[in-house]
Amino acid sequence: MIAKLKEKELAIKFRKKGLSYNEILRKLPVAKSTLSLWLKSFGLSKEQKQRLTEKKIASALRGALLRKNQRIDIVRKIGDSASSEIGRISKRELWLIGTTLYWAEGSKQKEHNVSQTVKFSNSDPKAVKLFLKWLRVICKISRKNIHFRIALHKNSENKLTEVRVYWSKVTGFPLSCFQKIDWKKNKINTKRRNTGQEYFGLINVYVRKSTNFNRKIDGWIKGICRSY
């Protein structure tokens, strides 16, 4: 009984100092229900309540950061493991990969336009690099026959120089190749998320005098369709 009275006195003392129930329980070996009974008539001052609120917020933020870092670690491990499964890519595999990439993102021949030249559009720098490698290595297209146009929203006009430098680095072509811009009008109620510092517009890659080349790509696509 004496021990319990001492524990109660200590609990009240700690509570008056503004400690939370969990903080008190770490100091005293009593049940939480017992602690609640002892302290139900002891309120906290405004400052003490503020302190506990701040501690709860800080704890929640630490928990959120821990979960975020755990997710980042999981993503990295899965990505590294999946990446290692690919191994070396042969020229034939690159040929098929590039063809299917153009199938997804390139301009195709149509009944109303049977003279469509090769045009590839994308904002993903990895996809653009892969397409250019496919053009040069597999299709033997010379650099002089490749040209570009940037599609950019009008509200990013102030970062035009940065955008040109970005695509020059991505493609390995000089800045002089990125002078032509297709401006997109901004909708007033737009819900676009690609408006921040990482927005560099979309790049259109063209191949000069490539009507027959596009017809050949169309044949490759049909061959893939028949084969699978």
For 138-159, write each residue's pLDDT tens digit.
999 999 999 999 999 998 889 9
Span of 9-13, 124-128, 144-148, 203-207 with lowest mean pLDDT: 9-13
Residue 123 reports pLDDT greater than 90: yes
Query: pLDDT band for position 58 (50/70/90)?
Result: confident
* Residue 119 bridge partners (DSSP): 206
At 75, the amino acid letter reads V
Query: pLDDT band for position 33 (50/70/90)?
Result: confident
Write down the pLDDT at residue 49. Answer: 73
Question: How many C-beta atoms surround the C-beta of residue 217 within 10 A?
Answer: 20
> Pairing mode, if any, of strands 119-122 and 181-184?
unpaired
| Cα torsion through 207, 209, 214, 220, rounded to 10 | -90
Residue 196 reports pLDDT greater than 70: no
Write down the pLDDT at residue 109. Answer: 79
Q: How far is CA 5 from the centre of its chain?
A: 58
Kindly report the pTM of this predicted structure. 0.71
Residue 194 reports pLDDT greater than 70: no
Chain mean pLDDT for the chain: 88
* Residue 152 bridge partners (DSSP): 183
